Amino acid sequence: MELGASRKATISKILMEQAYDSLTNAITAREKNQFSVEVRLSVNVMLLLGISLEGVVNELGENTLDNWTWNELEKSTTPLKWKVILGAKKNCPAHERPIQTIIEVMKLRNYIAHPKLKNNGGGIILVGDQGEVLINPTDDTLLPGGDLTIYDGYNTLIKDFNARNALMYTTRSLQAINEIVTLYQAPDFEWSMEMLKEVEKMKVERNTTGN
């Protein structure tokens, strides 16, 4: 993605542009029932969102807090940084957005970094030449003719890492960034407003896997 108006280079902007590109490709993969590609790209989106959200709050914190306060806060978690810095401008309960979004994104980001914390389970997804999708077929299942693509072990992964979730978290992350940079009047992050307008145009419906 290349935004038209805002050309200010920041690492957070570059990361969000990469997340946007991965999101659009994940949606395309979903439309083609390419489950492994959709999962891989959705994982990439979540990683990039987590890093970008941390980068935004780090830059704002460093620029707005005194050195001692920031040096202490910098050691804490990303959700806490957001709550402290955003909380200086408005009331922001942890169980409500945008803090809730930050918590959820960072949980998924940490799961990616520490996959042993969760059992991916098994399960088989079969995709036929004509786009037929069969989930966990049994010996009695009538298989479609032609070649079949077999996705082994993706049943659990696709529940967390799919284009629909990736779009939801990208939208909510950009909304969170917009909120905090508006309160702090940070023009270097105006790109988030442009990107949010593009993301809000995207639609992803539930598919045959129920995700």
Report pLDDT digits (tens) over 46-69.
999 999 999 999 999 999 999 999
The model's confidence at residue 117, banded by pLDDT at 50, 70 and 90, is very low
pLDDT at 116 over 70: no
Report pLDDT digits (tens) over 140-180.
777 776 776 766 667 778 888 999 999 999 999 999 999 99
pTM for this entry: 0.85
The model's confidence at residue 25, banded by pLDDT at 50, 70 and 90, is very high
With pLDDT > 70 as the criterion, what percentage of the chain qualifies? 82
- Token pair for 10: 């920041």
Q: How many CA atoms lie within 13 A of 48 on its CB side?
A: 23
Angstrom distance (rounded) from CA 11 to CA 148: 42
In the chain, how long is the greatest CA-to-CA distance?
68
- Residue ranges per structural domain of the chain: 11-119+158-199
Q: Which helix (H) or strand (E) holds 12?
A: helix 11-31
- Token pair for 126: 């079969």
